[in-house]
Amino acid sequence: MTPSASTTARRPVGRRAGTPYAFLAPAMILFVAFLAAPIVYAAYLSLRKVKVSGLGLGAKSRTEIWAGLDNYARSLTDPDFLPSVGRIGLYGLIVVPTMLGLALLFALLLDANRTRESVGKFARISIFLPYAVPAVVGSLLWGFLYLPRVSPITDLFEAVGITAPELLSRDLTLWAVANIAVWGGTGFNMIVIYTALRAVPLSLYESARIDGASEVAIAWRIKIPIVTPSLIMTFVFSLIATLQVFAEPMTLRPLANTISTTWTPLMKVYRDAFTRNDLYAAAATSVIIALATFILSFGFLKLVGRRAFNQED
Amino acid sequence: MKTKYAPLMAALTAAALFTGTACSNSGSSSEQTTDPNEKVSLTYWTWAPNMDKVAAAWNAKNPNIQVTVNKQDGGDPAVTKLLTAIKAGSGAPDIMQAEYQKIPTLVSADALADIAADAGSLKDKFPAGAWNGVTLGSDAVYGVPQDSGPLMFFYRADVFEKNGLSAPKTWDEYATAAEKIHKANPKQYLGTFSATDAGLFTGLAQQAGASWWGVQGDAWSVAIDEPNTQKVAAYWGGLVEKGVIDNKPMYTPEWNAALNDGTQVGWVSAVWAPGVLEGSAKDTKGKWKAAAMPQWDAAAPATGAWGGSATSVTTQSKHKKQAAQFVSWLNSDPEAVKLLATEASVYPASNDAASVLTSPPAFFADQADYYAIAAEASKQMKPFTYGPNVNVAYSAFNDAFGKAAESKKASAFTESLTTMQKTTVDDLKNAGFNVAG
């Protein structure tokens, strides 16, 4: 754009140099107040600790002191921390492929059926609906289904004469929690992938059909490569959600012996902060989780970078 | 002048907040003037039901000291909120309901004010055990005992009769009854070992003679992995291993259903149990009876506590004297004690409780001696000292005993005590407390 002489004359340079900053201000203030400052404060807290003197009763018996990397050392050597990391690793191996596989399958099925709009709409909404249910509510619902005495699932098993599996027992708890995540997350991922599929021009499929490609071949050779960026994005989201799994096991915990207070890393953060009243250890673990999330997501994006963003290549 | 120093003041305030030295309270509050005609309003955090009605009786008589009740979700969330407010330097109420086991934690966080000057004279109105809970054995008074939860045993009288049993007087008899009932009907259990209820296990250890924390000079001692508690853990582990009692947590939809459909036919609980049974087991009304706790030594009856709380004044209150007046009235005035029992449905800690509780709770309408049993249990309460990190011990209990209950091995139960002991001591040491031994 080449500004004409008249417009430059009407806009004196300098007088409104602050204008862009004024427009930026609300976003910047919110960012600093609610994101940057708390992060910096958490990082600061993670390097501090409280030192109690004597019996620790009464005023002035607690002083906050510099802790260096003490809290980090304690976090990483906590006997409960590594098992919780291993647990979410396994959980991720179950949840992410299952959830994304189902989401892709549903999206492809819905897309194959573009003509029958009403059926598609109904299916789409019913698959998406669990995503709209808050995780705590969903976990409570599933919790009721998992408890043998109040669960209709048990009744079904007994009706056909099989002993129902104890879903909250030691071997199955991880699967029971993973099931809630898959149930709640598939819909969202399905919508993302489906939206990407809808953007593909129909002419592409027509030419494929003319070349004699079957529906399966179209899905495999055209549709899936085209939605790869969406798959990568949903994968990163799922990865982050896995690292942060909290609401489901937290809600199920009082119902079972098998979920400890440090079942996932975030539950350990919660326990340290609110049960043990040790904000400093909680801050250190939070920083570790944040760094791990950062490294994993950006590492993955770097790995697949070209495919994710330059699909035309 | 004012504007000139404003940036400096702001910077200082920010610095003070940032370094966390937000111990604003004690200094300013001691200088408070007490003009008798000054109108003050106090906030009161509590989770007991209908406490606003009890406060209304006070407000009607004390136009200058108006108390507003702020209903809390329960003991744990209220403590979390209070500790956060104390750390932030503002936002705490004037008056706070505090469970006995949380008082050392709160005192250690400098959240509770010493009201010895205003409430110290109330000592003789409460059982020694309850009073010890608010003084922590010192000269300070960190609250006035509000309610107590002496352990009692509840059982389905019809099921016991059918099996030719009477209420167990000793733990041996309890074990025999549990086995007999489960053999007669494999779906029925006399009880369950709940790994989610550390408070109950603590009460059972208390009954056996344990006191998990103690003060030795200027150091804390921790005795969780000790013979009395080991006896209790081995006993319950044995019952779970045999399979004669259940191993599922209490307070789950499943447990409620089991109480209601007659698969759980007994409950080791506390004086407040009727309120819970009324909600969970409403179809079985009239079939339950209350009894004194089974004993380790029938010749020397003892009991422990599950629950119970005091009413405390917080260090952030600007009107500590008035708050202490309300707290004293609430827990010792005969009219207030009666309201606590009838409106708020708590079992008052005051020695006067027996005189205001004449008719049994609705769920046990046929049992005229209900409160006589409770009063007897109150007197037999063993002393128990809580420490400054009860929460740490309790969450260690949840994790260790959760695994043990799931494994159904008696040996895992006693090993869990070793884990609890280590976790609790390590936490104290790490925080810098002096720990003896």
Give the pLDDT confidence score for residue B269 in this predicted structure. Answer: 96
Residue B376, min C-alpha distance to chain A (Å): 33
Phi, psi of B213 (to 5 degrees): -120, 165
Best probe of the B interface among A149, A261, A272, A278, by most B CBs < 10 A, is A149
Rounded to two decimals, the ipTM of the complex is 0.84
pLDDT over 80 (residue A204): yes
The pLDDT tens digits for B314-336 are 999 999 999 999 999 999 999 99
Query: What domains lie within chain B, and their CATH numbers?
Result: 39-149+307-376 (3.40.190.10), 151-305+381-431 (3.40.190.10)
pLDDT of residue B27: 38
Q: Which CATH architecture has domain A70-309?
A: Orthogonal Bundle (1.10)
For testing contact with chain A, the best of B192, B252, B394 (most A CBs within 10 A) = B252
pLDDT at position B36, please? 62
For chain B, counts of helices (H) and of strands (E):
19, 9
CB < 8 Å to B427, chain A? 276
* List of chain A residues whose C-beta atoms are within 8 Å of the C-beta of residue B247: 257
What does pLDDT average to over chain B?
88
User: Cβ of A274 under 8 Å from any chain B Cβ?
Assistant: yes
pLDDT at B156 over 80: yes
pLDDT digit string, tens, across residues A82-140: 999 999 999 999 999 999 999 999 999 888 766 567 777 888 889 999 999 999 999 99
- What pTM, to 2 d.p., does this model score? 0.86
pLDDT of residue A44: 95
Please give the share of chain B, as a percent, with pLDDT higher than 70: 92
| pLDDT for A245 | 94
Domains of chain A by residue range: 22-66, 70-309
Minimum-distance CB partner of B406 among A143, A150, A170: A170
- Calculate how close chain A gets to B259, using CA atoms only, in Å: 11
DSSP labels, A78-96: -TTHHHHHHHHHHHHHHHH
Over residues B263-277, the mean pLDDT reads 93
Distance of CA B106 to the CA centre of its chain: 14
Q: What is the pLDDT of residue B26?
A: 38
B100-111: average pLDDT: 91
pLDDT (tens digit, 9 = 90+) per residue, A254-304?
A: 998 999 999 999 999 999 988 888 889 999 999 999 999 999 999 998 888
Q: Is A66 near chain B, with CB under 8 Å?
A: no
Q: Tell me the average pLDDT across B372-399.
A: 91
Give the residue from chain B lying closest to A149, CA to CA: B254
For the segment B215-224, the average pLDDT, to the nearest whole number, is: 91
Answer yes or no: is pLDDT of B228 > 60. yes
Query: Is the pLDDT at B87 greater than 90, yes or no?
Result: no
Q: What integer pLDDT is reported at residue B18 of this predicted model?
A: 39
Phi, psi angle pair for B170, to nearest 5°? -125, 165
Q: What's the distance, Cα to Cα, between the start and end of chain A in Å?
A: 30
Round to whole Å and give the CA distance between B323 and B95: 7
**Residue B286 phi, psi dihedral angles, 5° rounding:** 90, -10
A277, A278, A280: which to substitute to probe chain B, counting the most B Cβ within 10 Å? A277
pLDDT in tens, B28-48: 444 445 566 678 999 999 998
Residue of B294, B292, B353 lying closest to B168 (CA atoms): B294
On chain A, the residues whose CB falls within 8 A of the CB of B110 are 58-62
Q: Which residue has the higher pLDDT, A8 or B168?
A: B168
Q: Which helix (H) or strand (E) holds B77?
A: helix B75-88
> Which whole-number Å values give the CA distances from A49 to A64, A109, A274, B15, B278, in the listed order?
6, 55, 15, 18, 46
Q: State which residue of chain B sits closest to A273, comparing Cα positions.
A: B80
Residue A143 contacts B where some CB pair is shorter than 8 Å: yes
What does the pLDDT read at residue B403? 95
Q: Is B299 buried (19+), middle (13-18) or exposed (0-12) by CB count in 10 A? A: exposed
User: What's the half-sphere exposure (Cβ side, CA atoms, 13 Å) at A10?
Assistant: 5
Q: Which of A57, A163, A264 to mutate: most B Cβ within 10 Å? A: A57
Q: Do A149 and B263 touch (CB under 8 A)?
A: yes
pLDDT at residue B186, as a whole number: 94
Query: Is residue A163 less than 8 Å (CB to CB) from chain B?
Result: no
B68 and chain A in contact, CB less than 8 A: no
Put simply, the answer to whether A52 touches B215 (Cβ < 8 Å) is no
Average pLDDT of A20-38?
92
| C-beta atoms of A277 and B253 within 8 A | no
Q: How confident is the model at residue A307 (pLDDT cuts 50, 70, 90)?
A: low
The residue to which tokens 């003896």 are assigned: B436
d(CA A175, CA A180) in angstroms, rounded, equals 9
